[in-house]
Amino acid sequence: MLAFITVGSTRFDGLIKSVFTPSVLASLSDKGYTTIVVQCGNSDFSYNHLLAQGEQSFRLEKDGVTIECWKFKPSLQTDYERADLVISHAGSGTIVDVLRMDKPLIVVPNPTLADNHQQELASALEKLGHLRSSTTSQLANTIQEFDASSLTKFPPFDGGKFRKLLDEEMGFV
Amino acid sequence: MFHVITCAVLLVATVCIRVYCILPKPTVPERPKKSAENRTLAVFLGSGGHTSEMLALVSSLDFDRYFPRIYIISEGDTLSERKAAALEATKAASSHSTSKNPDAYTFLVIPRARKVHQSLLTTPSTALLSVTKSFYQVALASSHRKGQFADVLVLNGPGTCLTLCLAVYLNKFFGLASPKMVYIESFARVQTLSLSGKLLRSLVDRFVVQWPQLLQDGKRGEYHGWLI
């Protein structure tokens, strides 16, 4: 199975460093994720030098897992599609995109962001059962205990509410 | 000297009374009479997550009702421009008549109130330029659009949307036709309002949040579930 890790449009050093630790890699391979695709953005981590000389991506074998890592792509759609598990930062855009594709999701809110509303959203959605929220130090445990079948399905996009609101305001209904 | 002070006090009082008159009232505002006419829609695309959420909202609308559409973007935000154009293309492919009209939508570029890393010292001057340009676009340059900039202006942050709101208020101040303003707080805001949400809460006609916790303080706002 394949796990996809993404940090979004900037960087999240803590998450990428955590993913490359033996304990997280062991948890992933234990659970059958033998291929890991990492979108690392501009994160600073120990394998950075492999992306230093203008290389777009690198591939390596570590602790029984095949890791493919790259910085950015215009769209992550195909990567979400082929993933069996997504581990991401807690940006609302990424969360909505992944949950709408019915992909099991573990989010790690970035504690270094000035205004930490990522944590609020992650906790609220975890309470509703749509995802699991973790931390960089707890990630190995969370993966170990993660049970995708216990998650609650995220509702599909319902444009009707905003359409009704604006149609009312503008006198169409 | 006494006369100068009297005049100043009178002027300030007049401005205050006028602003009070144009602030949204707690009573249900008068809505336009039921009609089948088209409405001009203006939306602000605040880049990144703001743009994605706004375009998701816009995608739900009937484009045969809302045209022309004006996408307001910040200077240099080509990504938002491309995303909006992509939405228009998708809608045109799946719809009929008006949305295929090349005049069905336009882009309006306004200067940023404050660029990232800009020093606070120069911010007032760029913010003033931003408000001036916004005011010019919203008020004066709208004469070719039958005297009104738009029927409705939808905002969801960040910063620059405040200058648009102020421009609309200048419009109102002088009694010019002004768009209704609808603010939709981001889905990402669960416990605390964003800065633009806090600032615009009492200024816009409809203030909508996507998590009920945000209305626990009993101040104005409405919640209709998740909109995106």
Query: Contact A167/B65, CB-based, under 8 Å?
Result: yes
**Does B83 contact A at CB distance below 8 Å?**
no
DSSP state, residue B221 = -
Domain regions of chain B by residue span: 37-114+123-223
The interface predicted TM-score of the complex, written ipTM, equals: 0.90
Out of 3.40.50.300, 2.60.40.420, 3.40.50.2000, 3.40.50.720, select the CATH number for domain B37-114+123-223: 3.40.50.2000
Contacts across the A-B interface (CB distance below 8 Å)? 91
Query: Contact A171/B59, CB-based, under 8 Å?
Result: no
For residue B100, pLDDT over 70 is answered with no
Phi-psi region of B141 (alpha: psi -120 to 50; beta: other; left: phi over 0): alpha
Q: What is d(CA A90, CA A108) in angstroms, rounded to the nearest whole number?
A: 6
Distances (CA, A) of A132 to A6, A9, A101, A125: 15, 22, 16, 8
**Does B39 contact A at CB distance below 8 Å?**
yes
Count of beta carbons in the 10 Å neighbourhood of residue A155: 11
The reported pTM is 0.88
Nearest to B228 among A117, A157, A170 (CB): A157
- Identify whether the C-beta of residue B59 lies closer than 8 Å to the C-beta of residue B88: no
Query: Contact A159/B60, CB-based, under 8 Å?
Result: yes
Domain regions of chain A by residue span: 2-169
Count of beta carbons in the 10 Å neighbourhood of residue B176: 16
* Backbone CA torsion sign across A101, A102, A104, A110: positive
pLDDT in tens, A46-99: 888 888 777 789 999 998 899 999 999 888 999 999 999 999 999 999 999 999
Per-residue pLDDT, B146: 59
Residue of chain B with shortest Cα separation from A92: B188
pLDDT in tens, B111-140: 876 666 677 778 788 878 877 777 777 766
The letter for the amino acid at B219 is K
Residues B23-51, mean pLDDT to the nearest whole number: 79
Nearest to A170 among B32, B57, B208 (CB): B32
Sequence-separated (6 or more) residues with CB below 8 Å from residue A135: A108, A109, A111
Residue bearing tokens 């994605």: B52
For residue B185, pLDDT over 80 is answered with yes
Residue of chain B with shortest Cα separation from A90: B188
Token pair listed for A109: 């809110």
Class of domain A2-169: alpha beta
In chain B, which residues have their Cβ closer than 8 Å to the Cβ of A155?
A: 226
Per-residue pLDDT, B174: 85
Pick B115 or A41 by higher pLDDT.
Answer: A41
Distance of CA A128 to the CA centre of its chain: 18
In chain B, % of residues over pLDDT 70 = 86
Q: Rounded to 5 degrees, what angle do the CA atoms A157, A150, A129 make?
A: 50
Pick B112 or A154 by higher pLDDT.
Answer: A154
Token pair listed for B82: 């491309």
Q: To the nearest 10°, report the CA torsion of A119, A120, A121, A124.
A: 120
- Identify whether the C-beta of residue A142 lies closer than 8 Å to the C-beta of residue A164: no
